[in-house]
Chains A and B, each alone.
Chain A
Amino acid sequence: MRNVNIKYRVAKSKSIQIIIVMLAFIVILPLLAIILYIFKEGATKINWTFLTKIPKPVGEAGGGIVNALLGSAIIVFVASIIAIPIGIFTGIYLSENKTSKLAYWSRLSVDILQGVPSIVIGIVVYFWLVKPFGTFSSLSGSVALAIMMLPILIRSTEETLKMIPFSLKEAGLALGLPYHKVILRVIVPCGVSGILSGVILSIARIAGETAPLLFTAFGNPYLSYNILKPMHSLPLLIFNYATSPYDDWHNLAWGAALILLTTVLLLNIITKLTTKRWNVQL
């Protein structure tokens, strides 16, 4: 029989397989290292003071991150209020109108928006909302984050609704319901879990964002509830304190990092539980 080097080729195939599997799984290591390190460093720093006090001036022990915690919560909340209605309605619109001119441009914009670096969005919102009003504000930060949430919301809403069978719509129409009621009362409730997971996903995405907040919310060492004034947030705090030379601040940053990481991971897990697709948001 011709010399087909079977032993050699099979061995080569097997060994390449081993190499590929190893390479594939190596990425677990750095991730694990990061997560463990943060847990280790951060766990010791969290206590009641940490969660309820504002940071003290450098050199004084103690102090906490309550302003950043609250700030993050407020900024994200406001961003969600802005983005969710717009995102969901646009998603509904796009799933119903596949061919109109407006649909085409909207889709295109969503695609482009997904690729825009977050810092560029920050710059833009700066010019819209900070410069004209002469002050940094958490509202502008929320707007920046809302812009980032939109592509995810729109995409997931549209995808969810697309998967709902046409026959359901027909059933609603056959019952004599006007079109908009069919959409709002029949189709959308059907897709609620998919839309909800899109919402949670978008929140998870922006909860950890820093760059857009750099020139909008800007940060605030004091507790503040005023959305028209600068406000602090967890990612901003981590950024500022991590790059500072003070150990006290580093400690605070570790605790903050732990809280942020846990929150983001939890949100992602919740998303996973309400949907079954494997999909890295591009």
Chain B
Amino acid sequence: MACMFLTLVIHSMPSIRSLGISFFWGKTWDPITNVYGGFPFLIGTLLTSFLALIISVPFSFSIAVYLGEYQPTGWLSNLLKNIVEIIAAVPSVIYGFWGLIVLVPLVQALEIKFGVLPYGIGIFTASLILALMIIPYGASLGREMMRMVPAHLKEAAYSLGATRFEVIKNVVIPYTKSGLFAGVLLSLGRALGETMAVTMVIGNANMMPTSIFGPGNTMASVIANEFTEADHTLYLSALIELGLFLFLVTVVINMVGKRIIKKFTNE
């Protein structure tokens, strides 16, 4: 049943793939002259996702350590768990809307301080919102991993005279290394495919981003913005090709992440 979806999906996409590989290096995207280069969006996607990842990792890691190691039980821990779940449940448009109205002016003020052009919208803003949205995935996974560290291993370290932090650093983290990495991968996968919130704050500029404080576009957001306006087949197929690429990349990353987790939980 479900497997049929898979094959059909793969079929529909390449039906319009007619532009070749250089598509990905072309830097100009101009529907008017029918020139399509996907590179700006590739960069946009990579920049926002990795920036979001970097921003979110300290937070999701801390949550994972707190819930997995310092305080697995208790009302405070339950509170945090629920909050993290709520963060994951809020619809993407709402993040985008809030980002547009509230975050953008804040970033503008920040940019003025830095002496940069105060667009407000742009890659940086998109990364911030994205970071908030992917924290739950890394945190949840990290916590699961940390709970699986066998107690007697930690006790061995304590009995040798280690402090709490030393036990975490020398026993828990090496043990969960691959699991934590998988958590990062899965967060990345989520970030790459996120569309709405990013679209609303990234500024919709189809050119190579000049700085992270400037506007840009990601593969997902350009599809969202221009799909219904694509009036000729080449235009449309260019967008589809982006979609196909997005599909492949996210699927690969998610599969790798899941495989690592499976290996880890079976040991």
Contacts and interface: CB of A to CB of B under 8 A. Distances in A.
A268 B89 contact: yes
A113 interface: yes
A258 to B, nearest CB: 9
B94 A34 contact: yes
B100 A242 contact: yes
Contacts of B132: 27, 30-31
B224 A214 contact: yes
Given A20-B66, A124-B9, A119 B84 contact: no
B58 A147 contact: no
B124 interface: no
A55 B183 CA distance: 43
B29 interface: no
A24 B59 contact: yes
Interface residues of B, number: 76
Nearest to B7: A109
Interface string B184-196: 0010011011111
Contacts of B192: 117
A174 interface: no
Contacts of B208: none
B12 A117 contact: no
Interface residues on A, range: 35 or more
A27 B81 CA distance: 11
Given A112-B255, A115-B254, A265 B86 contact: yes
A64 B84 CA distance: 33
Contact of A257 (B9, B59, B83, B97): B97
B196 A211 contact: yes
A156 interface: no
Given A90-B2, A119-B195, A242-B100, A208 B91 contact: yes
Interface stretch (B17-25, B109-117, B173-181, B242-250): B242-250
Interface string A21-44: 111111110110110011000000
Q: By CB atoms of chain B within 10 A, which of A24, A110, A112, A282 has the most?
A: A24
B247 A210 contact: no
Interface in A104-127: 105-106, 108-120, 123-124, 126-127
A66 B102 CA distance: 27
Interface string A232-257: 00010011001100000010010001
Contact of A114 (B80, B165, B254): B254
A242 B93 contact: yes
Contacts of B1: 86, 90, 106
Interface stretch (A9-17, A73-81, A191-199): A9-17
B107 interface: no
A33 B132 CA distance: 12
Nearest to B71: A21
Contacts of B86: 31, 265, 268
Contacts of B161: 4
B62 interface: yes
A204 B101 CA distance: 25
Contacts of A21: 62, 66, 70
B5 interface: yes
A24 B66 contact: yes
Interface string B148-173: 00000000000001011110000000
A10 B162 CA distance: 9
A24 B83 CA distance: 11
B264 interface: no
A208 B90 contact: yes
A48 interface: no
A268 to B, nearest CB: 5
A158 to B, nearest CB: 12
B227 interface: yes
Interface of B: 1-3, 5-6, 8-9, 12-13, 15, 58-59, 62-63, 65-67, 70, 80-98, 100-102, 132, 135-137, 139-141, 161, 163-166, 186, 189-190, 192-196, 200, 220, 223-224, 227-228, 240, 243, 246-247, 250-251, 253-255, 258
Closest 3 CB pairs of A and B: A208-B91, A117-B193, A115-B254
23 contacts: A17-B164, A20-B62, A24-B65, A24-B67, A27-B63, A27-B83, A28-B83, A31-B87, A117-B194, A117-B220, A118-B195, A119-B243, A124-B13, A150-B2, A207-B91, A209-B91, A210-B196, A238-B93, A239-B93, A257-B94, A268-B86, A268-B89, A282-B186
Given A23-B62, A27-B59, A208-B92, 15 more contacts: A12-B163, A16-B165, A115-B254, A117-B192, A118-B193, A119-B193, A123-B13, A123-B243, A124-B9, A211-B195, A238-B93, A239-B96, A242-B93, A242-B97, A257-B97
